[in-house]
Chain A
């Protein structure tokens, strides 16, 4: 009984840490964008204020049941991802529900949220939402290919389908997978651009073009749920990358340094590049990232 209670408490702590870190990263990315554009920019805690305000807004929108479920699906998907990804190695406050094959399960869970959101956005009947959903799913088809190729290469190379197994392999050999399978790392990082949806791959929520796309009918508390789930998901994805390619982290400080270094890649690439069109984005993902993914597979099979 005590173990279960401890696990539940740990899950709550994990969620809170993910929420705070994700929100702060979001705020820092806004600050970085502003500094690159020679602006002062909002304070780094601006996202917390925005989230609190959105949460305290009244919401009188009704488009049907699925519309209410959309943000909930997103949240469920984010929390499931977070629970499977090991946050720290050996820490009682961050339990994880990993099992043999969780890497494959994770591939499905990570697409579950956007699909639920797509259903919710479809029910609003807003044409911008519909266009945003089609763009989002096209982009997902784009970046899933290098991402899956990279993960499959790792699975072949180390004969394991669990994240902890890959972490153990890194601990055993002493080198990070980022160095021992560099092609998989490059392919995965390039796929990360699509996952984070910063410019130039912000084709889904393009505010000036699509009026923020799938979320255009969601305000107030819906947006609050989406914003928090986005923050949690950001943290979960970054932690997953750190676990897979950078050997995980022993304490929170090292985790923050590693995740933030990874997070800067899409942010800094984003502030200097304008938005792609949908077909350009898909072509980009099916070009060099997929090539590196195939190289990774070749490396895993023959070397």
Chain B
């Protein structure tokens, strides 16, 4: 009964409903995009009414919000932060820089396509995306969670070698602990 496929499906629906309405965000605000997070959270747009709330540490967070460009140096920290997060976890790429490099497309020390290094569930386009766009991104993520399609973490586990190879290509001095899930 416990491993029955149908009962598992019901459990999934309930769990996904809870996950959808309780999104704790770890905003990795290295880029300029971090300036759009306070208006999203405070009185004007009030993301908390959707269950979106800031989390203080990666251990408590559900969503890693990468706001803007990532330099090669911060990439290492982002990978550690992502790997310290607990399943189920999601990544939102915020702004053009995470999609194709944006205005830093020809920079020597920023990464261009975030999806090659971390599994991104939702992209929010714009430079900068306004709080409306951020809320729309969260709504998109909620929709994907409810449908059970936000499985970037599983994808990361399945293709860990490919992601690791990409990550090691840009980070030459790779001194990181090995995590085993």
Contact = CB atoms under 8 A, between A and B. Distances in A.
Interface of A: 30, 34, 37-42, 46, 49-50, 52-53, 56-61, 128, 207-208, 210-212, 215-220, 223
Contacts of A41: 46, 48-49
Interface string B31-71: 00000000000110010110101101111111000000000
B147 interface: no
A131 to B, nearest CB: 13
Nearest to B181: A60
Contacts of A38: 43
Contacts of A37: 42-43
Contacts of B42: 37, 39
A123 to B, nearest CB: 14
B63 to A, nearest CB: 12
A58 B18 contact: no
- The winner among B22, B87, B88 for most chain A CB atoms within 10 A is B22
A207 B56 contact: yes
A155 to B, nearest CB: 40
B18 A57 contact: no
A154 B48 CA distance: 43
A223 B60 contact: yes
B57 A39 contact: no
B22 A53 contact: yes
Nearest to B180: A60
A223 B61 CA distance: 11
Given A49-B21, A52-B18, A61 B86 contact: yes
A58 B87 contact: yes
B15 interface: yes
A40 B44 CA distance: 10
Contacts of B58: 219
A37 B48 CA distance: 12
Nearest to B58: A219
B144 interface: no
Given A42-B48, A58-B86, A49 B18 contact: yes
- The winner among B49, B51, B60, B61 for most chain A CB atoms within 10 A is B60
